[in-house]
Amino acid sequence: MKSINKVDGKPLELTDEVLKSCEEFGGAHVSPKDLAIYLQAVESEVIEVIQSHPDHPVYQRYHAGRIRTDLTIRKRIFEMAERNSSSAQDTAMEMIMENKAHLA
């Protein structure tokens, strides 16, 4: 597993608190750079893990938070579309077409 170091050169300990922060930052769509600053970790290492290491707990928790927020927003858009919000209907149709394109 790829290691992440703190800016002081010590390894970043993947405590429950650190992993919870990764998930919260992902869920708020905060950049990996800002997460690195918050964790006082080496920026390039955090970015590399979040972009390229799907087996790493930091990757998994960051993206789980991001996906959870995306799902919540998408569900709300569809609920609003069902209540006849024309802008939500337009957005829902765009999401449907985008998803169909990815499945083709």
Instruction: Assess contact for 19 and 27: CB atoms under 8 A.
Output: no
pTM: 0.90
Backbone region of residue 7 per phi and psi (left: phi > 0; alpha: psi in -120 to 50; beta: other values): alpha
Full pLDDT tens readout for the chain, 104 residues = 899 999 999 999 999 999 999 999 999 999 999 999 999 999 999 999 999 999 999 999 999 999 999 999 999 999 999 999 999 999 999 999 999 999 98
Q: Please give the angle made by the CA atoms of 84, 90 and 96, to the nearest 5 degrees.
A: 110
